[in-house]
């Protein structure tokens, strides 16, 4: 596994840049990843999605699909794409410190 430093913390990442240990995640890491992804500020709406992603990963061992995010997070698809442009499930997973959800290309 490769490592990288983000927000002053060294974390292990996979070949796609996703954290491999979700327990090392912090809000500072989330904010740093978000800035790298072109999201200047994480709002309460972002954290609804991020917290949902982390909860799903902890309960099921994988992040939710975009469909599940839309149906169960309380954030509709249009807003998901506004919050996390260019691939909400993948971007939200990266920022949430979990591996890329299964089924995301």
pLDDT digits (tens, 9 = 90+) for 25-76: 999 999 999 999 999 999 999 999 999 999 999 999 989 988 898 899 999 9
Residue 101 within a domain: no
Residue 81 within a domain: yes
pLDDT digits (tens, 9 = 90+) for 71-91: 999 999 999 999 999 889 999
Residue 105 within a domain: no
Query: With the CA atoms of 27, 34, 42 and 28 taken in that order, what torsion angle do they form, in degrees rounded to the nearest 10?
Result: 20
Q: Is 104 a catalytic residue?
A: yes
Residue 13 within a domain: yes
Residue 29: strand, helix, or coil: helix
Domain range for 45 is 2-96
pLDDT of residue 53: 96
**Confidence class of residue 1 from pLDDT cuts 50, 70 and 90?**
confident
Residue 28 within a domain: yes
Give percent above pLDDT 70 in the chain. 96
Residue 104 within a domain: no
pTM: 0.93
Q: How far apart (Å, rounded) are the C-alpha atoms in residues 60 and 54? A: 10
| Residue 90, both tokens | 């993948």
- Do 39 and 50 meet the contact criterion of CB atoms below 8 Å apart? no
Number of domains making up the chain: 1
Residue 37 within a domain: yes
Active-site entry in 27, 62, 104, 105: 104
What residues are paired with 59 via a beta bridge?
A: none
Give percent above pLDDT 90 in the chain. 83
Residue 78 within a domain: yes
- Do 64 and 49 meet the contact criterion of CB atoms below 8 Å apart? no
């Amino acid at each position: 596994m490769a490592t990288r430093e983000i927000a002053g913390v060294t974390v292990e990442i996979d070949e796609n840049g996703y954290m491999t240990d979700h327990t090392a995640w912090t809000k500072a890491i989330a904010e740093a990843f978000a800035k790298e992804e072109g999201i200047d500020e994480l709002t309460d709406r972002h954290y609804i999605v991020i917290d949902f992603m982390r909860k799903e990963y902890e309960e099921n061992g994988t992040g939710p699909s975009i469909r599940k995010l839309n149906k169960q997070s309380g954030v509709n698809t249009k807003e998901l794409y506004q919050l996390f442009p260019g691939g909400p499930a993948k971007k939200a997973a990266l920022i949430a410190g979990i591996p890329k959800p299964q089924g995301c290309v």
